Amino acid sequence: MARRHAREDDTEINITPMLDIVFIMLIFFIVTTSFTKETGAEIIKPEADQSQRIQQGTILIGIRPNDDIWMNKRQLEVREVRAMVERAKAENPEGSVVIVADKGSRIGVVTQVMDQVKLAGVEGIAISAEPPGN
């Protein structure tokens, strides 16, 4: 009777399927993550008793106390707001506009910015405020 010698094969763990899953998960998280865009201006928001948290404000426009208008870390003129909002709306049609006005900014400038946003075709506009005590 002939004996068969069992060869000991080096057993290795194949990690290729695990790496595939990790890369797929990475791509999924990158695609589904919503990135927060900042206005680029340091603003002190006014307090409001009726303030509510809005989760979908993806187009932010900042107005400083000296009435400078900021969007995407870039200073704008009032007449440039409409084009910038139209461009941002084309990138994210589901996004809403939040105006982050400093408590020292003039209401006239805030109103002009709101008019430009409405001319860009955005209906839902919110003004950012802090709850009392923050």
Residue 82 lies in a domain: yes
Number of folded domains in the chain? 1
pTM for the whole thing?
0.61
What was the pLDDT predicted at 9?
63
Residue 112 lies in a domain: yes
Half-sphere exposure of 125 (CA within 13 A, CB side): 20
**Structural contact between residues 88 and 117, judged by C-beta atoms closer than 8 angstroms:** no
Residue 121 lies in a domain: yes
What was the pLDDT predicted at 34?
61
Residue 5 lies in a domain: no
Residue 27 lies in a domain: no
Residue 114 lies in a domain: yes
Phi, psi (rounded to 5 degrees) for 113: -65, -40
Residue 41 lies in a domain: no
Residue 103 lies in a domain: yes
Give the CATH number, domain containing residue 66: 3.30.420.270
pLDDT string in tens for the chain (134-residue length):
555 555 556 677 888 888 899 999 998 888 777 665 666 666 666 666 565 666 555 788 888 888 889 888 888 898 999 999 998 888 878 778 888 888 888 888 988 999 999 998 887 788 777 777 65
- Domain hosting 90: range is 57-127
CA angle 74, 75, 78 (to 5 degrees): 125
Residue type at 86 in one-letter notation: E
What was the pLDDT predicted at 98?
86
What was the pLDDT predicted at 38?
62
